[in-house]
Amino acid sequence: MIGVFGPFRDYFTLVFVSAVGVIQVATALSGLRGLMFLGDRRMAGLLGAVLAVGVFLWYILSAPRNLPDTAGGLSGNQSAWLFSAASAAAIAFTLAGSSVVNWRLRVSDHQHESGLDALRGTTFLWAVVRTLIAAWKRS
């Protein structure tokens, strides 16, 4: 038996972990070192692929998932809300976690870059701090 919160928790976990994995693959392919959990691009890509594939295998093989919402499954609206919440949580987790893991990556030779390109040489946290300092100096 999955339990009352089982389908919600399981689907949230599926989307959260797979989104983190896909973000890691994307950052590895694009060279955004500030968002990678592992320093090596190949290892970050491999980690992302393992997370995305592994969580799908766990989700499919761990319990029967073909349940109508009247029998304890998720409705379409519940799935949409959970997908949105888990995706947003995965982005927040990646931004915060990679900023902690790569905290030494604050000195950047990409000072002139903005947007996502700034994350090639610094973390999200340091990019925000640098932007706030620059805005403060301009005002």
112-123 tens-digit pLDDT:
677 777 888 888
pLDDT at 109 over 70: no
Kindly give the residue spans of alpha helices, DSSP state H, lying in 4-40.
Answer: 6-30
Residue 56 pLDDT greater than 90, yes or no = yes
Statement: residue 1 has pLDDT above 50: no
Long-range contact set of residues 22-27: C-beta below 8 Å, sequence gap at least 24 = 22/48, 22/52, 23/48, 23/90, 23/91, 23/94, 24/48, 24/51, 24/94, 25/49, 25/52, 27/119
Mean pLDDT of all residues in the chain? Answer: 87
Q: Give the burial class of 12: count Cβ atoms within 10 A of its Cβ; 0-12 exposed, 13-18 middle, 19 or more buried.
A: middle
| Spatial CA neighbour of 33 closest among 101, 112, 134 | 101
pTM over 0.75: yes
